[in-house]
Amino acid sequence: MAALLFDHDFEDFEDYFPSMIKRLGAEGFISELCYGFQRLMDGEKGLITFESLKRNSLLLGLNDMMDDEIVCMLSEGDLDGDGALSQFEFCILMVRLSPGLMEGSPQSMEGSPQSMVEDLYM
């Protein structure tokens, strides 16, 4: 699914999320995702916006991201239609884009990855 977002070469993509969950536990993993969200968000709005993602794309190693790719990434995770990503939407998106998490939950996780994120937020 991640390959659908961009035309970049994902041949060497390695999904570290399952091993992170095993090492950190579910809450530690979500905490790391939240840290990543904070690095990318607009500090005033508390959301990842087009502008903040464009500005911070260097942190992702995506300094050549085109505007349409940024829009596509935001729309992929935008559940409420506001054009930006909340912390919850970002966490859900990151879990959905992990092939290892979507194929099967690690033994240290109960339920689906999406329900794990929802449980921690609800």
Among 53, 56, 50, 35, smallest CA distance to 82 is for 50
Q: Is 0.85 surpassed by the pTM of this model?
A: no
- Identify the pLDDT of residue 48: 96
Per-residue pLDDT at 4: 42
Return the pLDDT at 108: 41
pLDDT the model gives residue 121: 60
CA dihedral 86, 91, 93, 99 (to 10 degrees): 170
pLDDT at 47: 97
Q: Is 9 exposed, middle or buried (0-12, 13-18, 19+ CB in 10 A)?
A: exposed
**Residue stretches of the chain with pLDDT short of 50:** 1-10, 106-109
